[in-house]
């Protein structure tokens, strides 16, 4: 069965224009990444998860304030924590910032998060998970979505027990990444669980995990009955993966790769400032220029350069035609009209 990925669907009263969702990823899902995802076909984009403790205490460890651009909507802002009252307060702030959905993280497997009773550990405390969803749903009129894993242990099926309870508590949508916390990102996502969850709940389910191509996205949608697919790691430095899933010609030229990287760099500098962006961007060089697009020594060289300007000059030297492509991209991108969200971003890992 062929699924039309360009067909719109709804989470609550929020219309999502395509059935492709860009995953929330810590240390990745900055505004520049989300806006790029929208350009390449994502119907819904998500912030990286925001620490409720950071919101409440204005923790000095937090990195910056989350920014919301006018062309990101619909946008979900993801929050994590273990206290229902604090989560409710955070949800009200997310609403005030102009987000379209509040997403709750019950999926992060990273120890810094789970040891606080947040993230995936809440699947082992379903009563508390239900209290959190209920508190958030009562605090805001925005639709509430929940992202979760199958459970903490390999082979766990706890998501099938907890999922319907979360919907009863007020969740308008569920995202399932059917790996355990112990698996992290190893092995395969067991989408047979996604099929079972779809049959158990009457809200949209988003299938996450191993969505790396159009064929895979179509297969998962057709076999599970999920409303949408979520793409994460496959889109890191590779927005053309999103375009391919949406059915467009996806293999970029060297000039297109460099131009898209340069645009991403400039947008990230605008967002984070040059000092923070210089370190933040280093992992993206390998992501963009990998997959056989450029020699490995060239990628390694870029990481050693001290300034963004030096990186730009080296990229233009490697692909002179990128200048014209970059001019075209910059002329097509909507000028930033953003709302500053006075909430600090979590520095923890994501799930």
The helix (H) or strand (E) run that includes residue 112 is helix 111-114
Q: Residues 46, 108, 120, 159: which is the catalytic one?
A: 108
Whats the size of the chain, residue-wise?
351
Q: CB-based contacts of 282: which residues, under 8 Å, 6+ apart?
A: 302, 303
How many whole angstroms separate alpha carbon 312 and alpha carbon 348? Answer: 29
Tell me the per-residue pLDDT of 243-274, one tens digit each, with 9 for 90 and over. 999 999 878 999 999 999 999 999 999 988 89
Assigned token pair, 106:
């019950």
Cα separation, 335 vs 248, whole angstroms: 25
What global pTM score does this model have?
A: 0.93
- pLDDT value, residue 337: 65
Two tokens, residue 148: 């979760």
3-state secondary structure of 237: coil
> Tell me, what's the pLDDT at 348?
40
With b for 16 or more beta-carbon neighbours within 10 A and e for fewer, the 149-180 pattern comes to bbbbeeebebbbebbbbbbebbbbbbbbbbbb
Domains and CATH numbers, the chain: 9-249+337-344 (3.20.20.70), 254-332 (no CATH)
**120 annotated active-site:** no
CA distance 257 to 260: 5
Helix (H, G, I), strand (E, B) or coil at 127: helix
At 55 the pLDDT is 67
DSSP 213: S
Long-range contacts of 292-296 (CB under 8 A, 24+ apart): 293/254, 293/257, 294/254, 294/257, 294/318
pLDDT in tens, 82-129: 999 999 998 988 888 889 999 999 999 998 899 989 999 999 999 999
CB 211 within 8 A of CB 244: no
pLDDT of residue 70: 85
Which residues are 77's β-sheet partners? 102
The whole-angstrom separation of Cα 103 and Cα 95 is 11
Question: How much is the pLDDT for 342?
Answer: 45
Crossing angle (nearest 10°) for helices 308-318 and 322-332: 120
**In what helix (H) or strand (E) does residue 88 lie, and over which residues does it extend?**
helix 84-97
Residue 20's pLDDT is what? 98
Tell which residue, 1, 2, 21, 78, has the closest CA to residue 204.
21
Specify the pLDDT at position 335: 77
Predicted confidence pLDDT, tens digits, the chain (351 residues)? 688 999 999 999 999 999 999 999 999 999 999 999 999 999 999 998 888 877 666 543 333 445 678 889 999 999 999 999 999 998 988 888 889 999 999 999 998 899 989 999 999 999 999 999 999 999 999 999 999 999 999 999 999 999 999 999 999 999 999 999 899 998 899 999 999 999 999 999 999 999 999 999 999 999 999 999 999 999 999 999 999 999 998 789 999 999 999 999 999 999 888 998 999 999 999 999 999 999 999 999 999 999 999 999 999 999 999 999 999 999 988 777 655 544 444 434 444
Please count the CA atoms within 13 angstroms of the CA of 291 that sit on its side-chain side.
18
Residue 224, H or E segment: helix 214-224
């Amino acid at each position: 069965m062929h699924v039309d990925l360009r067909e719109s669907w709804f989470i609550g009263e929020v219309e999502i224009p395509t059935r492709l969702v860009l995953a929330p990823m810590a240390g990745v899902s900055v505004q520049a990444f989300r806006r790029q995802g929208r350009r390449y076909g994502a119907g819904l984009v998500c912030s990286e998860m925001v620490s409720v403790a950071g919101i409440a205490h204005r923790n000095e460890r937090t990195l910056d304030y989350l920014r919301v651009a006018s062309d990101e909507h619909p946008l979900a802002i993801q929050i994590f924590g273990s206290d229902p009252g604090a989560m409710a307060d955070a949800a009200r702030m997310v609403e005030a910032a102009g987000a379209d959905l509040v997403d709750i993280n019950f999926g992060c497997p990273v120890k810094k998060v789970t040891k606080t009773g947040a993230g995936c550990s809440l699947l082992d405390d379903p009563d508390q998970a239900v209290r959190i969803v209920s508190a958030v749903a009562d605090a805001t009129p925005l639709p509430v979505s929940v992202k979760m894993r199958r459970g903490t242990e390999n082979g766990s099926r706890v998501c099938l027990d907890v999922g319907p309870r979360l919907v009863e508590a007020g969740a308008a949508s569920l995202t399932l990444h059917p790996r355990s916390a112990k698996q992290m990102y190893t092995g395969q996502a067991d989408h047979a669980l996604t099929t079972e969850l779809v049959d158990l709940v009457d809200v949209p389910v988003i299938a996450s995990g191993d969505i790396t191509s159009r064929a895979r996205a179509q297969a998962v949608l057709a076999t599970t009955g999920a409303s949408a697919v979520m793409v994460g790691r496959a889109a890191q430095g590779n927005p053309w993966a999103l375009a391919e899933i949406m059915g467009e010609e996806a293999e970029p030229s060297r000039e297109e790769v460099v131009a898209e990287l340069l645009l991403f760099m400039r947008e990230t500098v605008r967002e984070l400032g040059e000092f923070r962006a210089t370190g933040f961007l280093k992992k993206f060089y390998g992501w963009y220029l990998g997959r056989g697009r450029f020699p490995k020594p060239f990628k390694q060289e870029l990481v050693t350069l001290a300034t963004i300007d030096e990186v730009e000059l080296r990229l233009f030297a490697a692909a002179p035609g990128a200048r014209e492509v970059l001019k075209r991209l910059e002329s097509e991108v909507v000028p930033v009209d953003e709302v500053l969200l006075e909430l600090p971003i979590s520095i923890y890992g994501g799930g």
